[in-house]
Amino acid sequence: MTDRPSVATRLARPWGSPSGPVTPPIHQTSLFTFDDYAAFEARMAGETDEPLYTRVQNPTVSEFERMMADLEGGEAAVAFASGMGAISAAIMALIRPGMRVACVEHVYPDAYRLLERMMAPAGVTVEYMPVDAMTEPGALDGYDVAYLESPTSMTLDVADLGAIARVAKAAGCLTIHDNSWATPLHQRPLELGIDVVVHSASKYISGHSDTVAGVVVASASLVAKLRDLTLPMLGAKLAPFEAWLLIRGLRTLVPRMRMHEATANLFVDRLAGLRQVTRVRSPGPNVVPGITGRSGLLSIELADGVDIPRLADGLRHFRLGVSWGGFESLIVPASISLRQSGEKNAAQRFGVSPRLVRLSLGLEDAEELWTDFEGALAAATG
């Protein structure tokens, strides 16, 4: 047993006095004023941390940041206007020209584009590795930063983050990990030794597909560095109303994730018995040290006899769309990404199978979702 309150209990924390509001106020303002010259001067000199301007600091945003730091077990957090805002801030604040970066294969496509289009041309050497290769002793020698996802974006490859953290620390390599799939409920990278955690808070943290946001959680010194180097100049600050929506989403995180997991468990059990499905990619509890639960995001590989466009068009409860983590269920065929024109994208570079389909299982009735999927799959099988 532990004296540490449960996640659900910590999320029920009142704001202000016990008889005060049960939800935090929205500080929907661009600036804050001061009662006198001395107070204004002290704030501008950095002697106090009173709110000054919402691009830099806002009480509603600060409350969301506090909650995320608490849930991830970090000292501090800083929120951004999108998941890519958080990823870009972490990378741009911690990586300099001349550095070497090790990045996992099958990384989130826009993180890949950031590394390829901005960091590599700026003189950063970026090399890609299978996620489990980073656990090998000496694998990160000579690298300055390792950018991680476990599970990875489309293929849901997993690795032992604790082992990677030990290899990285031995090499003097900083680690950044995207924890959007697992949330702090199912994986706590900082406790495993990872240095920086990023989230696309648009996903499970929000849970309602109505907010675009990101957050970085790390030590107080690293977060202070991110604030100093990115927020004033890049201006990717989270707005107060979005922060309030995210706080609302966090307070239902536990029951939502339990429902996502229950539906995913049902699908994983039944998918294994379908002849049209050649592989199920859905990491579960303890598949590697540190993962304690299953989210609703999974991928499957389909046999050649399945017409994937016909499957997608035959579904009634699954919508075609990017992102995930909301109430609604979604389907994304990898074949769409593989057909993108222009420069070679992440799916093409890392050999994603054209037979792979990603499912985001939402909060609809699990049996209805299964009946819908099973029927559409049967109709799409030649």
318-336 pLDDT tens trace: 999 989 999 999 999 998 8
The SS3 assignment for 211 reads: coil
CB atoms near residue 266 (< 10 Å): 15
Provide the whole-model pTM. Answer: 0.93
C-alpha triplet 197, 203, 207: angle, nearest 5°: 125
With beta carbons less than 8 A apart as the criterion, state whether 234 and 87 touch: no
Q: What is the pLDDT of residue 341?
A: 53
Domains along the chain?
Answer: 7-250 (3.40.640.10), 255-379 (3.90.1150.10)
User: Tokens 């704030």 sit at which residue?
Assistant: 43
Q: Quick one: pLDDT at residue 286?
A: 84
Cα 256–Cα 261–Cα 264 angle in degrees, nearest 5:
130
Q: What percent of the chain has pLDDT over 70?
A: 93
In the chain, pLDDT over 90 holds for what percent of residues?
Answer: 81
**In which residue ranges of the chain is pLDDT below 70?**
1-5, 8, 12-19, 231-232, 338-344
Residue 1: its pLDDT value, please? Answer: 34
